[in-house]
């Protein structure tokens, strides 16, 4: 496809702008004046519209295709929440909205939304307080582990290690390391859970925290979670809940009741908001009472007269983790979603997410190897090991799916499963869509039996075919003629 700069013809106007007959007497410092024209493409308005419309059609998204990306939870985002977030009373507000002398801050409505959301999240996660500042799950993890570090320092008992099972997301060990801890990795047992004996051996009075995803990345609910939490607490450590999989247990179980002290929730996974390509997201962090003093500033407080104000007077706080109030539009969408669904609706989210995943797993289990034998919840992991014997790997199956008009599942994660394909259909898909996906996966398994060689130049239906992914990343050339 031509670049917009290649379509440019000097002097061709893009839009009709009326002649300016207003006398401008604004003084601009010459330092800020251009010395030459901006190098912008000269294209007509319809060309601009067609260019970007055609580009947008090459995008892959939940609005156009099925997107079963395990762990990332790419579920359909109700347009209702988008409508709320684009309401100009919210969308046009400025974070530096001035404050009236002696009056309340002028962003009362936004502050109220945040406080209401925090209360809803406390109820959903079984926590005592929430901060909505962190802008992503990983950012929430860092905020949470920094609070845990501050807590141990405050008790005059700083510790050295964080325990993480080998099925954990890469951000977990990265977070622990950035916060200054040594990471102790515990292998998974045959059921895909943290090996209990090896966990006990790893636990010591130097353990600052145990970071767990529950259900874990294989979709398995950790059966000994209470014992793990009790042992950790006895050893003086804290329990960190990676909430990326919270959609599996919404309304059914609460991390706080399971023994966790800190939790982050990926609002962009569990509570609407499309995401990808790095954003937008929000990773609010909830804590039990004993960690509340360490929450980032500012906290929003409801005053006696019913107005809301920011409170910076938190001597034990870990400080700022983001400017202003966090990623407000994402918070707003999540709040609208929670209010739209209500308690029963959120429970149904978990039930349908689990049902859909169980259905797909049952349809696919004879065609691919399974990562574990135990029951799984909202996602499950298959392995392409059987196909790899015929030189068809998880990446080849993934590329083949694209020709069926579907986004591939997450591949090569979790790291403790060879040739992993991690499938999360989410609750928003119909039986027909799930069947179409199952048929596509079965067709690819058959093709791997019958004609494994064809896989190596898939996909064939996309504007760009099979890329050398390493070279594409290292020597990126977005103007290559094949584009
Ligand atoms: C997505 C994810 C994260 C990181 O969250 P981001 O919002 O992408 O930063 C952490 N843990 C798990 C299990 C995840 O799936």
Atom number in ligand 1 closest to CA 217: 13
Specify the pLDDT at position 82: 92
Question: What is the C-alpha to C-alpha distance for residues 232 and 303, in angstroms, rounded to an integer?
Answer: 38
Question: What is the C-alpha to C-alpha distance for residues 363 and 344, in angstroms, rounded to an integer?
Answer: 28
Mutational test site, ligand 1, from 70, 137, 270, max ligand atoms within 8 Å of CB: 137
Instruction: Quote the mean pLDDT of the chain.
Output: 93
State whether 229 and 291 are in the same domain.
Answer: yes
State whether 333 and 360 are in the same domain.
Answer: no
Highest average pLDDT, of 4-8, 20-24, 343-347, comes from 343-347
Question: What is the C-alpha to C-alpha distance for residues 420 and 383, in angstroms, rounded to an integer?
Answer: 5
Query: pLDDT digit string (tens) for 302-326?
Result: 999 999 999 999 999 999 999 888 8
Specify the pLDDT at position 24: 77
Asked if residue 9 belongs to a domain, the reply is: no
Q: At what angle do helices 328-364 and 79-86 cross, to 10 degrees?
A: 170
Specify the pLDDT at position 95: 78
Domain containing 458 equals 350-472
State whether 240 and 325 are in the same domain.
Answer: yes
* Residue 482 binned pLDDT confidence (cut-offs 50, 70, 90): low
State whether 249 and 327 are in the same domain.
Answer: yes
Question: What is the C-alpha to C-alpha distance for residues 263 and 248, in angstroms, rounded to an integer?
Answer: 15
Q: Where does a domain end: 311, 339, 367?
A: 339
Specify the pLDDT at position 3: 86
State whether 364 and 313 are in the same domain.
Answer: no
Q: Range with the lowest mean pLDDT among 149-163, 195-209, 324-338, 431-445?
A: 324-338
State whether 362 and 248 are in the same domain.
Answer: no
Q: Where does a domain end: 310, 339, 368?
A: 339
* Residue 1 binned pLDDT confidence (cut-offs 50, 70, 90): confident
pLDDT beyond 70 at 278: no
Task: Tell me the average pLDDT across 379-407.
Answer: 96
State whether 332 and 279 are in the same domain.
Answer: yes
Asked if residue 114 belongs to a domain, the reply is: yes
Question: What is the C-alpha to C-alpha distance for residues 97 and 430, in angstroms, rounded to an integer?
Answer: 44
Query: pLDDT digit string (tens) for 230-251?
Result: 999 999 999 999 999 999 999 9
Task: Tell me the average pLDDT across 333-352.
Answer: 96
Query: pLDDT digit string (tens) for 30-68?
Result: 999 999 988 889 999 999 999 999 988 888 888 889 999
Q: At what angle do helices 108-125 and 328-364 cross, to 10 degrees?
A: 30
Distance 265 CA to ligand 1 centre (A): 9
* Residue 480 binned pLDDT confidence (cut-offs 50, 70, 90): low
State whether 374 and 280 are in the same domain.
Answer: no
Quick one: what percent of the chain has pLDDT higher than 90? 76
Specify the pLDDT at position 279: 63
By DSSP bridging, strand 238-242 and strand 410-411 are unpaired
pLDDT beyond 60 at 20: yes
The CATH number of the domain where 420 resides is what? 3.90.1150.10
State whether 422 and 294 are in the same domain.
Answer: no
Task: Tell me the average pLDDT across 328-339.
Answer: 96
Query: pLDDT digit string (tens) for 156-179?
Result: 999 999 999 999 999 999 999 999
Atom number in ligand 1 closest to CA 242: 11
Task: Tell me the average pLDDT across 11-36.
Answer: 84
Residues flanking ligand 1, CB < 6 Å: 71-72, 136-138, 169, 171, 213, 217, 242, 244, 266, 281, 283
Query: pLDDT digit string (tens) for 74-127?
Result: 888 899 999 999 999 999 988 788 777 777 888 899 999 999 999 999 999 999
Q: Range with the lowest mean pLDDT among 8-22, 178-192, 331-345?
A: 8-22
Measured at the CA of 231, the angle between CA 158 and CA 166, to 5 degrees, comes to: 80
Specify the pLDDT at position 164: 98
Asked if residue 144 belongs to a domain, the reply is: yes
Mutational test site, ligand 1, from 178, 218, 244, 247, max ligand atoms within 8 Å of CB: 244
Asked if residue 439 belongs to a domain, the reply is: yes
* Residue 481 binned pLDDT confidence (cut-offs 50, 70, 90): low
Question: What is the C-alpha to C-alpha distance for residues 81 and 325, in angstroms, rounded to an integer?
Answer: 19
How many distinct structural domains can be found in the chain?
Answer: 2
The CATH number of the domain where 242 resides is what? 3.40.640.10
State whether 122 and 193 are in the same domain.
Answer: yes
Which position has the higher pLDDT, 29 or 26? 29
The distance in angstroms from the start CA to the end CA of the chain is 6
State whether 210 and 301 are in the same domain.
Answer: yes
State whether 324 and 375 are in the same domain.
Answer: no
Beta pairing partners, 263? 241, 286
Protein residue with least CA distance to atom 8, ligand 1: 137
Question: What is the C-alpha to C-alpha distance for residues 150 and 164, in angstroms, rounded to an integer?
Answer: 20
pLDDT beyond 60 at 208: yes
Q: Where does a domain end: 294, 310, 339?
A: 339
């Amino acid at each position: 496809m031509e670049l917009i700069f290649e379509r440019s013809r000097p002097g061709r106007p893009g839009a009709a702008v009326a002649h300016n007959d207003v006398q401008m007497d604004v003084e601009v410092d010459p330092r800020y004046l251009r010395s030459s024209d901006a190098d912008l493409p000269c294209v007509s308005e319809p060309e601009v519209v067609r260019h970007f419309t055609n580009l947008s059609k090459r995008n892959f998204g939940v609005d156009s295709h099925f997107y079963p990306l395990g762990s990332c939870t790419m579920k359909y985002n109700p347009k209702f929440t988008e409508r709320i977030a684009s309401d100009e009373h919210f969308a046009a507000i400025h974070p530096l909205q001035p404050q009236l002398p002696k009056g309340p801050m002028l962003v009362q409505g936004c502050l109220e939304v945040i406080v209401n959301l925090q209360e809803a999240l406390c109820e959903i996660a079984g926590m005592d307080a929430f901060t909505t500042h962190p802008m992503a799950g990983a950012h929430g993890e860092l905020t949470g582990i920094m609070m845990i570090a501050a807590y141990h320092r405050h008790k005059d008992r700083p510790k050295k290690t964080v325990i993480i099972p080998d099925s954990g997301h890469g951000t977990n060990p990265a977070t622990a390391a950035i916060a200054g801890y040594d990471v102790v990795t515990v292998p998974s047992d045959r059921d895909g859970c943290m090996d209990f004996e090896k966990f006990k051996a790893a636990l010591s009075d130097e353990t600052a925290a145990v970071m767990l995803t529950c259900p874990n990345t294989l979709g398995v609910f950790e059966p000994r979670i209470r014992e793990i939490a009790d042992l950790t607490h006895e050893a003086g450590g804290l329990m960190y809940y990676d909430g990326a999989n919270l959609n599996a247990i919404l309304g059914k179980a609460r991390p706080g009741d399971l023994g966790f002290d800190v939790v982050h929730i990926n609002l962009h996974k569990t509570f609407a908001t499309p995401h990808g390509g790095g954003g937008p997201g929000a990773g609010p962090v909830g804590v039990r009472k004993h960690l509340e003093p360490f929450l980032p500033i500012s906290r929003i407080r409801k005053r006696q007269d019913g107005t809301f104000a920011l409170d910076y007077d938190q001597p034990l706080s870990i400080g700022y983790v983001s400017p202003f109030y966090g990623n407000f539009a994402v918070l707003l969408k999540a709040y609208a979603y929670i209010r739209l669904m209500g308690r029963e609706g959120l429970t149904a989210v978990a039930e349908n997410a689990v049902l859909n995943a169980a259905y797909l797993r049952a349809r696919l289990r004879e065609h691919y190897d399974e990562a574990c034998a135990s029951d799984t919840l909202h996602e499950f992991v298959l392995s392409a090991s059987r196909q790899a014997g015929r030189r068809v790997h998880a990446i080849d199956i993934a590329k083949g799916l694209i020709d069926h008009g579907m986004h591939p599942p997450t591949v090569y994660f979790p790291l403790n499963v060879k040739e992993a394909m991690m499938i999360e259909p989410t609750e928003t898909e119909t039986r027909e869509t799930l069947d179409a996906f199952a048929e596509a996966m079965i067709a690819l398994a058959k093709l791997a039996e019958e004609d494994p060689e064809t896989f190596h130049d898939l996909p064939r239906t996309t504007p760009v075919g099979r890329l050398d992914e390493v070279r594409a990343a290292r020597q990126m050339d977005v103007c290559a003629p094949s584009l």
